[in-house]
Amino acid sequence: MKKTLIIISILLLALPILAITVIDKNTEHQLDIKDIAEAMEGLSTEIEKDGELQIRNWRGIKLQKILSIYDIKDFSSIRFTSADNYLVRLSKEDIISNDPLIAFYEDEKLLEGNNRLVSQQLSAMFWIQDIAIISTENAPSLSQPRVIYFAENILADMELITAPKPFIKAKGFYLRDVVAKIMPITDGEYQLIAKDGTSHYLDFAGFLQKAVLIKTDNGYNLQSPQMPGGMWIKNLAYIQKGEMAVIFRDKFQNFDEVKKLLNWQNIPQKLTVYTADGKEILPAIPDFNDEAWTKYLKMVW
């Protein structure tokens, strides 16, 4: 018992000053070192990098323990925001299945970034560093859109911008100009999904107002000076706000692939498509390599 108290005392002295705010609904908590010292535990992760297996040993507190300390139970997801505005979300299911640790030590050394969320099962993009705010969310899950536009048709009528600020060595389109073509009000929350499944749910004013779709040989990357580089999305495939969505058709062979990427429960057997001359009813949805898609401006189901 005495040895345990000595270890805890050492940890209290050695830990950095915590600056993590935990927000649940309208209640704020400042994560107190005294609340977590006895709950600190270790976690080892194995990561293959450059053909070598790297084993890292972390020490910190499990996220679920933090939630337990403040009796936080009613939420659908947790949002983590770093001091430099990096943002990731984990659903309640992700937290339970992956059991992430908020680490303060790596291989017995204090982390330079103050803290880091780590989990063997989560990909590196979720390993957010220097967490400043942990907040609960109860946002409804994104439903299937009612209206879908096709990015290729929208961009065909727009002039490619050379050196869109601040990305002077690139060509592309400002996201605000793209969404303004189809949405009367651009403000709000947007779901952005890459072809590899990387997904962000972001506020337009806070993250996307200055975003640019950078043209590449493989499609478009979304980059924004309002977002840390680690949040930029490569090979953008899908954008949704409310009941409206934009699909980058060249990222998919057919709607079955769209359904799989977006976890839709089903796709309609027929839909209404609009062209410059009017509308058509499609009794069956053709594959995206059908030339007819080049004239369809949007679809409604």
Same domain, 291 and 153: yes
Same domain, 118 and 188: no
Domain of residue 64: give its range. 2-137
- Would 142 be classed as within a structural domain? no
More confident residue, 158 or 266: 158
Q: Can you give the C-alpha Rg of the chain in angstroms?
A: 23
For position 39, which CATH number holds?
A: 3.90.420.10
Q: What single DSSP character describes residue 120? A: S
Same domain, 121 and 186: no
Same domain, 88 and 220: no
Question: For 99, what's the count of Cα atoms within 13 Å in the CB-facing half-sphere?
Answer: 7
DSSP for 5-68 reads HHHHHHHHHHSPPP--EEEETTEEEE--HHHHGGG-EEEEEEEEETTEEEEEEEEEEEHHHHHH
Average model confidence (pLDDT) for the chain? 87
Residues in the chain: 301
Same domain, 293 and 267: yes
Same domain, 61 and 123: yes
Tens digit of each residue's pLDDT (9 = 90 or more) over 59-80: 999 999 999 999 999 998 999 9
Q: What single DSSP character describes residue 295? A: G
Where residue 125 falls among pLDDT bands split at 50, 70, 90? confident
pTM of the model: 0.76
- Would 112 be classed as within a structural domain? yes
- Would 34 be classed as within a structural domain? yes
Report the distance separating Cα 145 and Cα 142, nearest Å.
8
- In the listed set 137, 165, 200, which residue is the last one of a domain according to the structure? 137
Question: Quick one: pLDDT at residue 171?
Answer: 96
Report the distance separating Cα 276 and Cα 82, nearest Å.
46
- In the listed set 116, 137, 158, which residue is the last one of a domain according to the structure? 137
Report the distance separating Cα 192 and Cα 221, nearest Å.
11
On the question of pLDDT at 113 being above 70, the answer is yes
Question: Which residues, including other chains, have CB under 8 Å from residue 44's CB and lie 6 or more apart?
Answer: 55, 56, 57, 58
- In the listed set 137, 155, 186, which residue is the last one of a domain according to the structure? 137
Same domain, 151 and 227: yes
How many structural domains compose the chain? Answer: 2
Question: Quick one: pLDDT at residue 15?
Answer: 54
- What percent of the chain shows pLDDT beyond 90? 54
Tens digit of each residue's pLDDT (9 = 90 or more) over 140-171: 566 889 999 999 999 998 999 999 999 999 99
Q: What single DSSP character describes residue 183? A: -
